[in-house]
A = this chain, B = another copy of it.
Amino acid sequence: MPDAPLSLGQLQSKSLREHIVDVLHEAILCGDLSPGQPLIETDLAAQLGVSRAPLREAIQILNSEGLVETIPRRGTRVSTLERKDIVELYSLRGVLEALAIRCIIDQSDPCDLRRLEAISERMLRAANRGNLRKVNELDHSFHDTLIAMSGHCLLQTTWHLVALRVRRVMTLRNMRNDDIRLVAYSHLPILDAIRDRDGERATSAIEAHVATGGDLVAEDWEVGAMPAPLDERDL
């Protein structure tokens, strides 16, 4: 039970545009839409059973999120991911998470780390079981929660952009089993440092953690990135 608000207001409240954004997110993050693939508005609209107006608005959003790239009057395509993008992504991610941790530590009330600890624990178990998908999922939860706990709204907004890209990278790349153990265990020093309210150590820990992840991913990116099955559109 990750989170199921079911707040009733959710019922039908989503506009068509947001539905489309969700669908496209899913498609891009899962790799159903491969990097570089063109998005033909007419076709997509027909496939989704909607008109082009909300679809175009959705594409605007995807565009601001950096998931697609639009060339005026030329078209839109799923954005590609080069090695440089990975490096940039993880370097930015590092400083954002470091900021989050500083915010958390600076909070007057002793912060509630139980959520993070619970996630971390489950992640370790999943890693030892070799359940790669679960580890990834919990990894994302961990970092999303960390950002949320900072109470820094603007940071959360910014993080959203980064998180989308990270998720994308993680799906495009298949990790080895050793890797996920490494990743899972490297959350522990972060928790320790936050618990001790030691800003310096926490910052180092998170940056080391992120750098590790980034290195693992960037390591042989060219290999793992572009075997995008050259299937023509089938969404």
Interface on A for B, CB 8 Å cutoff? 13-15, 18, 53, 56-57, 60-61, 64-66, 72-73, 84-85, 88-89, 91-92, 95-96, 98-99, 103, 152-155, 157-158, 161, 165
Contact = CB atoms under 8 A, between A and B. Distances in A.
Interface centre among A13, A18, A60 (most CB of B within 10 A): A60
By DSSP majority rule, is chain A's interface helix, strand, loop, or mixed? Answer: helix
A39 to B, nearest CB: 15
Given A64-B61, A72-B13, A91 B95 contact: no
Contacts of A13: 72
8 contacts: A14-B72, A15-B72, A60-B61, A85-B153, A88-B152, A89-B154, A92-B155, A95-B95
Contacts of A14: 72
Could you say how many copies of this chain the assembly holds? 2
A99 B89 contact: no
A85 B152 CA distance: 9
Nearest to A66: B157
B73 A15 contact: yes
A13 B71 CA distance: 11
A146 to B, nearest CB: 15
A207 B56 CA distance: 40
Contacts of A15: 72-73
B57 A92 contact: no
A95 B88 contact: no
A118 B95 CA distance: 29
A100 B56 CA distance: 34
Contacts of A103: 91
A102 to B, nearest CB: 8
Contacts of A89: 154
